[in-house]
Amino acid sequence: MIAAIAGAHTGTHVLDVDPDHDHHRVVISMAAKSSTLLDGVIAAVGAAVEHIDMREHAGVHPRVGAADVVPFVPLGQSTLADARELAREAGERIWSELKVPVYFYGENRPLADIRAGRAQPDLGGPTLHPTAGAVSVGARLALVAFNVLLPETDIATARALARSLRESEAGMRGVQALAFQLSGGRVQLSMNLFRLDQTPPSAVVAELVRRGITIGEQELVGLCPAIAAGEVAAGRLLEGRLAAAAARAGAVKCRSVGDEEHLALAVRLEREAEGLAALGVDQQVLLTGAERAAALVPVLRVAQVMDGELEAMLGAAARGLRAAISPGTEAANAARVAALDARL
């Protein structure tokens, strides 16, 4: 089922598929130019509608439908206004083509209000689709979904802790938080961090430690922008996956050319994609990753397999990794950073 949803449209670049048994949810991250991404989203939502029956669904996380939330996130040179326009078009197509009611969410209508039943669908409704429910569609900047197990905290205390951390309750800036009782008696603090420049995962962990909370396993859901990455984000960097997807697509194009030189390059690009997808979070690794992403641009150009989409993906990857370089690392690697900046 998950493979059918993630692979419903071959034109998009699937960056990550992250299922969660306890929440009975899967996060699928895709990237593409606007028109292709729109078609990919509609295809994925359609596959979810076909395969998931909400009448038989169980999971601890709040949800309104089979394709519960569809956020559009601007990357590279695209803007939040571009993402909002795409979200509106996606919502209109979901209703007109799939007959699944649509909520539009954003700053003036948070997901919490929709999930709590404090809103009516903007398209369709008020009766929801009998098996697929509804879809919440919106545009936002990148965020980090971050979960922490609390092995010595009961659920009532964890829920009070979650409330105290929320920005809406005068807690930490950019934090949305819930607490869940998982199987086996485990208690989980589940958060969305949406002001990453102010509150990355490390800041939340530091606050929990300051409060004397015993912290268990930490996990990311989906991908993490390099600028907010700590150890838990190793191998799950958004920029690493973008660069990997571009390298992989370049390899496919090289194989389609088919001569000996392009076939050899395809092998190298596939190997490079594997490494970029698994990038760690050490400062030297981030710097090297930015250099590798930037270096792929002239390689694909010379091979005559470059297009605007791949160039945009590699540019977004290299710039995102560059933004994560600390002043200390920059000072210690001045010549490398200057050369990188010249490329960008």
Q: Which amino acid is at 56?
A: E
User: Within its chain, how far is the Cα of 187 from the centroid?
Assistant: 24
Decide: 217 and 151 in contact? Cβ < 8 Å. no
**324: closest CA among 295, 296, 274, 288?**
288
* Residue that has been written with the tokens 């002043």 in this structure: 327
Catalytic residue among 9, 24, 51, 61: 61
* Residue that has been written with the tokens 């996990």 in this structure: 219
DSSP 170: T
Q: Which residues, at least 6 apart from 313, have a Cβ–Cβ distance to it below 8 Å?
A: 13, 31, 75, 76, 242, 243, 245, 246
Task: Please confirm, yes or no, whether 57 is among the known catalytic residues.
Answer: no
Decide: 313 and 246 in contact? Cβ < 8 Å. yes
CB atoms within 10 A of CB 170: 7
Q: Which positions are catalytic?
A: 61
